[in-house]
Structure 1
Amino acid sequence: MAVYDVAYLQELPVLKSIPTEHLEWLLKTSEIRELAPGQALFTKGQPTDYMHLVLEGQINISLEQNGTYKYFVSVKKGEITGLLPYSRLRTAAGQGIALVPTTVLSLHRRYFTELEHVSPELVQELVGIMTDRVRDFTRSQQQNEKLMALGKLSAGLAHELNNPAAAMVRSSAELLRIHHSVPEKFKRIMSMHVTPDQVDAVNDILFRKIDAGLQSNLTLLERNSLEDEITDWLEEQEVEDGFLLAETFAESGVNLTDLEEIKAILAGNNLSEVLDWIANTLNTERLICDIQASAKRISALVNAVKTYSHMDRGQDKEKTDLHSGIKSTLTMLNHKLKEKNIQVEQDFGKDLPLVNGYVGELNQVWTNLIDNAIDALEPGGKLRLATRVEGDNLKVTVQDNGSGIPAEALNRIFEPFYTTKPVGKGTGLGLDIVNKIMLHHDAAIKVQSQPGNTVFELCFPIV
């Protein structure tokens, strides 16, 4: 078993330059604790009263996120955790568990004042450790914040892409089925005896419906009623599979008047074959339009991602259209907006000047503010986004009628790690990031809030 004396402490890099008499004071004033594997050195919420120096073994520190503890960092032999001089830490933010048999030297906070007089050298070393720890923790939490935001955006984007992609798969499968039936229908068409004038007249009716957009403009009840009427009419004309054709005709805006006109053009001959061909053409047209609309939707989403992520562009400041970034962010968060049925009002000024800025950073601003508003809103709530010129500034307003920010929190919401969200729902860095980005743009942000009306106002200088 190791002997934890001054000589042992001097072998640790963190204490190498500390005078012997100071280490003797540290040993005399501190207590040595032995931890078994799995035993907690501290738990979340526990008062932080000790500085801990690991003499042997390893402590794994985990932070709570979404109700579960996730590994954050390991503290090994010669490393320090817990409270440090001048730190404002009051309670443990996570838990520290011994991975293996571990020995720690623990100094209570009541000796910190004496430590400043006994060993300024050790205090200086500890302040350096605290500075590094804050920097590393901040960097880690900022990365976590970005990953959380990315997770939300990717989940929403996957949902948005899935709908048009699934529609394309369904439509293409149906189109293939129709295509496979073309040879048989072509055989029936070739056996018909129709004049060129009859073909032209039927085509006029067909393309009139296609040019109208294949819309029936009827309510569901009215369309069902029309479908029944068409089915009865087709049965009277002894048209094969009339009930299948009736659904296509009703959906495409073909009515009884059109059918009677076609019957008259054909003089009652080949009616079944011609109507089957018309229905086949209408279905093909509808499926192609569906595939085209789905492809356009996917293309629009991809373009929104490119605009949002600032792909294929430099990282320098450039003249930027704020509306473009806000709209692409709305597209990225559309899934969350639809999930809560949130109404979005866009009151954008016309012909606004461009702002000199970093597009990627500005998109982080819109994401954090809009995402926070969505979280604060009840289902069916309202989000208002407005832009206008005021003097030498371009003002952007993000307003929601959600629960509001507590009065006691208003002065702290831009502080790092301060959050009003439940544990695991936020890191407390979102608005801190927003504030830093605004400062980076020589811009200002202020907030007013009460239940039912929270307003963030952002002012960008026009240059």
Structure 2
Amino acid sequence: MQNEELLNQIASFPSFQDVPRQQIQWLLDRGEVVIVPAGDTYIKKGDPIDKLIILLKGSLSLKMEQNGQFKEIYHMEVGEISGLLPYSRAQSAMGYGTAVIDSEFFMLNKSHFRDLVCECHELTAMLVHEMTDRVRDFTRSQHQDEKLMALGKLSAGLAHELNNPAAAMVRSSESLQKHLGTVPDKFKRVMSMNVTNEQIDLVSNILFEKVAKGVKKGETMMVRSQREDELTDWLEDHGYGDCYMLSETLAEFGFEEQELQEIRASLDQDTFPKVMEWIDNVLTTEKMVGEIKEAARRISSLVNSIKSYSHMDRSSDKAPTDIREGIQNTITILGHKLRKNQVKLIEEYDDHLPLINAIPGELNQVWTNIIDNALDAMESEGGSLTIKADRRGDVVNVQITDTGTGIPKEIQNRIFEPFFTTKDIGKGTGLGLEVVHRIVQGHNGSIGLESVPGKTKFEFCFPVSQ
């Protein structure tokens, strides 16, 4: 390409509209045109960034490698400026630059930058604006990636956590609908009974005392199973036919043989089965309504946790913040992963933990990233996750320890670098711990790491709110 033709082409690029032609010529006199065939790599990860690049023809792609896989992070088109710019502190390439099609670009070595700044003021101003725009775009993209990453973890956790109570509500409501379909026949049998007010009062008192207490919780399956067998034997001995389902329901509400004997003694032989059928109907209905109520309560609790986690109804300014609330909301959202990975949770909080001055939504990103990484580290063999928080002088100290695979010593000093990750594409962006580090610094806090196989501990310190 002839010098005049190249000058006209670069002058026509939008970025160079206000740059005098003699300054563009100054560039051309000191740089060179490089041709890169389609598929060739013009820069590799770790190569020094020491040249300004202007794409003249073709298309270039910059990709980052994560565990042998590549993800495109930047696509360069004709007229765009890349590489090193004046006053930039970039030192080495983070990825690989490849020509998508046959391409040509103009290059200027950084050895000319000092003279460029002194002699070409408009050109320098344009390049500084380019650098400012690049930083702004990169920051915006990074923040968007952070939000998508947090949203991904949040939505995955929420979907799992909401699915169980929602499915329980559907299952219980369908069972209740089917159960209520048999009520008319049972009602006829109840109406045909000839019982006194005293008999009604005795049965009602026993029954509704059990209903008020609800399903008996806290006992072992062995104890309940033994009581079911005893109730089954008693009912069979007293002429009640198919009673396995009835025995299970009675056992769940804590009935004992003595109470059945008391009901049986107050009724005649024909009335007793009808009364037990009515008792079974009341208890079954109560149980199903209770299951629906508990599922609805669980969904409500989850929605409140999400609202508190994201702080949708609060400002983004720093305010006195209870660290425990954010950690526990995060655990609620990631609860499915704890159960799936068979991780035992141990929580130890100071009863008088002071507040810290913080942006709660940002701190929740810290807990989400650290806890989620810990659960990933225990994915294959399970383990335990220990969270401690207490006051130490003028700071609140938080320790999050897992029994996972650990972080190799040779990469521990790199884990807070942007885009550094050991996870496969789709599992990690390399932004998580960099975000953690930046948020902690923004709260005047500190973060420490100790890791060996079988134990990884992140330790945080935040100043107490005054």
Normalising by structure 2, we get a TM-score of 0.84
Asked if 2 retains the 8 angstrom alpha-carbon contact of 1:67 and 1:423, the reply is no
**Once the 2 structures are TM-superposed, how far is the Cα of residue 329 of structure 1 from its aligned partner?**
1.5
Residues 225 and 394 of structure 1: CA distance in aligned 2, closer, same or farther (over 3 Å): closer
Distance 1:53 1:79 in 2: 6
Selected match of 2:29 from 21, 25, 30:
25
Cα 1:204–1:387, aligned 2, differ >3 Å: closer, same or farther? same
Matches within 5 A, 1:208-287: 208-215=209-216, 219-221=220-222, 223-224=224-225, 226-287=227-288
Q: Is the 8 A contact 2:60 2:97 kept in 1?
A: no
Determine whether 1:454 maps to 2:428: no
* Code of the aligned partner of 2:35: I
Q: Is the 8 A contact 2:447 2:460 kept in 1?
A: yes
2:391 partner letter? V
Q: Which residue of 2 aligns with 1:414?
A: 416
Within-5 A mapping of 1:373-452: 373-377=374-378, 379-421=381-423, 425-441=427-443, 443-451=444-452, 452=455
Q: Which piece of structure 1 moves more, 301-310 or 403-412?
A: 403-412
Kindly tell me: are residues 226 and 44 of structure 1, through their superposed partners in 2, closer, same or farther at Cα, counting changes over 3 Å? farther
Q: CA deviation at 1:254?
A: 2.8
Q: Kindly tell me: are residues 340 and 131 of structure 1, through their superposed partners in 2, closer, same or farther at Cα, counting changes over 3 Å?
A: same
How big is the alpha-carbon RMSD for the aligned residues of Structure 1 and Structure 2?
3.4
Deviation string, structure 1 residues 342-379 (Cα, Å, up to 9, x no partner): 22222211233322322222222222232233333464
The answer on whether the counterparts of 1:188 and 1:273 sit within 8 Å (CA) in structure 2 is yes
Structure 1: gaps of 5 or more residues:
none
> C-alpha displacement at 1:411, in angstroms?
4.0
Query: Counterpart in 2 of 1:136?
Result: 137
Question: Are the counterparts in 2 of residues 167 and 291 from structure 1 also a CA contact under 8 Å?
Answer: yes
Cα pair 1:32 1:106 within 8 Å, conserved: no
SS of 1:5's partner is helix
Q: Counterpart of 1:12 in structure 2: which amino acid?
A: F
Are the counterparts in 1 of residues 356 and 462 from structure 2 also a CA contact under 8 Å? no
1:106-147 per-position Cα deviation (integer Å, ceiling 9, x unaligned): 538xx4425655786467755653453344224313321321
TM-superposed deviation, 1:166: 0.8
Q: Does the CA contact (< 8 Å) of 1:65 and 1:425 recur in 2?
A: no
Instruction: Out of 261-270 and 410-419, give the one that drifted further.
Output: 410-419
Evaluate the alpha carbon distance shift between residue 324 and residue 244 of structure 1 in structure 2; reply closer, same or farther with a 3 A threshold. closer
CA displacement at 1:19 relative to structure 2: 2.3
How far apart in 1 are the matches of 2:70 and 2:216?
55
Tell me, in whole angstroms, the C-alpha distance in 2 between the residues paired with 1:243 and 1:346.
41
Q: Following the alignment from structure 2 to structure 1, what is the Cα–Cα distance between the partners of residues 168 and 309?
A: 25
Distance (whole Å) between structure 1 residues aligned to residue 256 and residue 410 of structure 2: 65
- Counterpart contact for 1:352–1:388, Cα < 8 Å: yes
1:298 is displaced (CA, Å) by 0.9
Q: Secondary structure at the match of 2:398?
A: strand
User: In the alignment, which residue of structure 1 is the partner of 2:344?
Assistant: 343
Describe the shift of the 1:275–1:381 C-alpha distance in structure 2 as closer, same or farther (beyond 3 A). Answer: same
CA distance in 2, matches of 1:94, 1:197: 88
Tell me what 1:93 maps to: 95
User: Which ranges in structure 2 are unaligned for 5 or more consecutive residues?
Assistant: none
Rounded Cα–Cα distance in structure 2 between residues aligned with 1:271 and 1:42: 90
For residues 323 and 244 of structure 2, what CA distance do their matches in structure 1 show? 54
Q: Which residue of 2 aligns with 1:105?
A: 105
CA contact (8 A) 1:33 1:106 kept: no
Cα distance between partner residues in 2 of 1:328 and 1:217: 25
Distance 1:318 1:112, change over 3 A: closer
Which amino acid in the other structure matches residue 104 of structure 1?
A: E
Say if 1:359 and 1:221 are closer, same or farther in 2 by CA, change over 3 A.
Answer: closer
Check conservation: 1:59, 1:96, Cα contact below 8 A.
yes
After superposition, give the CA deviation of every residue in 1:23-80 in whole Å (9 maximum; x if it has no partner).
43256x3223464xxx455587595777542223444555567986555443222113
Instruction: Give how far 1:390 is off.
Output: 2.5
Matched residues, number:
454
- Please report how far the alpha carbon of residue 295 of structure 1 lies from its aligned counterpart in structure 2 after TM superposition: 1.3
Taking the aligned partners of 1:445 and 1:210, their CA distance within structure 2 comes to 53
Choose 189-198 or 1-10, whichever is displaced more. Answer: 1-10
Moved more, 419-428 or 347-356: 419-428
